[in-house]
Amino acid sequence: MNVFGVDIGGSGIKGAPVDLEHGDLAQERYKVLTPHPATPEAVADGVAEVVGQFGWSGPVGITFPGVVTGNTIRTAANVDKAWIGVDGARLLTDRLGGLPVTVMNDADAAGVAEMSFGAGRGRKGTVILLTFGTGIGSALFLDGRLVPNTELGHLELHGHDAEKRASTKAKEDEDLTWPHWAHRVQKYLAHVEMLFSPELFIIGGGVSRKADKFLPLIEGIRAEMVPAELQNNAGIVGAAMTAGRG
């Protein structure tokens, strides 16, 4: 069975049909740049372009970079604040011509995919997936069950939102070397570990493709650390999985 997944990020909107049996993209994904300002209407147009590229006519799962409860957007750190309070499913269903839509937090979607088909398969205890990109997303699992909307990227670290210091965007904006950035990530992971004592950290987001450049530089973390296996497709897969269950 195939279901369409869309991953809305601070820099790009990407999507593809997903083979739910194998947890992989059924076709090569299509991506457009996230509009600026990333207002609800402008982002909805981007989603419609992605979905329209495939002539899709079934359910659509869509991730959002913020807290989502009951399909309603509660926070919007890296997109326009006009999203707050919007019924994301209703907006996007209307824009997609009535297709059934499910909306969930982007990191939660990535975590759901990794726990089913990736680095978290079969893992019990406390597992935390962290996605490093425009911000830092998080997904917390206890014995395989999701605790939604944790938003651990907004923990305070040295007087700042952690994602302002340790996201991939911070690395790029400040032109940090891999060792310098890895040191910041290490401090962030140590802070999260102190609070939650996970058995496993799964490191996701686009930077997971380059895990060999920074993960070996991180020291003093007791938990096992592994890169996400689905890498930057995890959000698309998890969104489709959630829509498929609906």
Whole-number average pLDDT of the chain: 97
Residue 22 and residue 86 in one domain: yes
Same domain, residue pair 79 and 163? no
- pLDDT tens profile 181-193: 999 999 999 999 9
Per-residue pLDDT tens for 192-225? 999 999 999 999 998 999 999 999 999 999 999 9
Going by pLDDT thresholds of 50, 70 and 90, the confidence category of residue 116 is: very high
- How many Cα neighbours within 13 Å face the side chain of 34? 19
Do the Cβ atoms of 152 and 191 come closer than 8 Å? Answer: no
Report the CATH number that the domain containing residue 25 is assigned in CATH: 3.30.420.40
**Quick one: 6 and 104 in the same domain?**
yes
Q: Cβ distance 86 to 73 under 8 Å?
A: yes
Domain count for the chain, please give it: 2
Q: Are residues 7 and 100 in the same domain?
A: yes
Is residue 77 very low, low, confident or very high in pLDDT (cuts 50, 70, 90)? confident
Mark whether 7 and 92 lie in a shared domain.
yes
Domain coverage including residue 72: 2-108+234-245
In a domain, 177, yes or no: yes
Q: How far is CA 136 from the centre of its chain?
A: 9
Judge if 88 and 182 occupy the same domain: no
Backbone angles phi, psi at 5, to 5 degrees: -120, 140
Q: Do both 72 and 86 map to the same domain?
A: yes
| Between 157 and 87, the higher pLDDT residue | 87
What are the beta bridge partners of residue 61?
5, 102
By DSSP bridging, strand 68-69 and strand 145-147 are unpaired
Model confidence pLDDT, tens digit, residues 126-138 = 999 999 999 999 9
Do 35 and 68 fall within a single domain? Answer: yes
Q: Are residues 83 and 146 in the same domain?
A: no
Instruction: Give, in order, the Cα–Cα distances in Å from 183 to each of 156, 174, 212.
Output: 16, 14, 15
Q: How much is the pLDDT for 29?
A: 98
Q: Rounded CA gap, 61 and 104, in Å?
A: 8
Kindly state whether residues 95 and 138 are assigned to the same domain.
no
- Alpha carbon of 135 to those of 21, 132, 167, 201: distances in Å? 30, 6, 5, 17
The whole-number pLDDT of residue 121 equals 97
Q: Is the pLDDT of residue 179 over 90?
A: yes
Confidence of residue 140 (pLDDT cuts 50, 70, 90): very high
Tokens standing for 7?
């991953």
In this prediction the pTM is: 0.95
Would 131 be classed as within a structural domain? yes
246, pLDDT greater than 80: no
Average pLDDT over residues 49-74: 97
Do 68 and 161 lie in one domain? The reply is no
Calpha distance 211→227 (Å, rounded): 6
Closest C-alpha to 12, from 31, 29, 28:
31
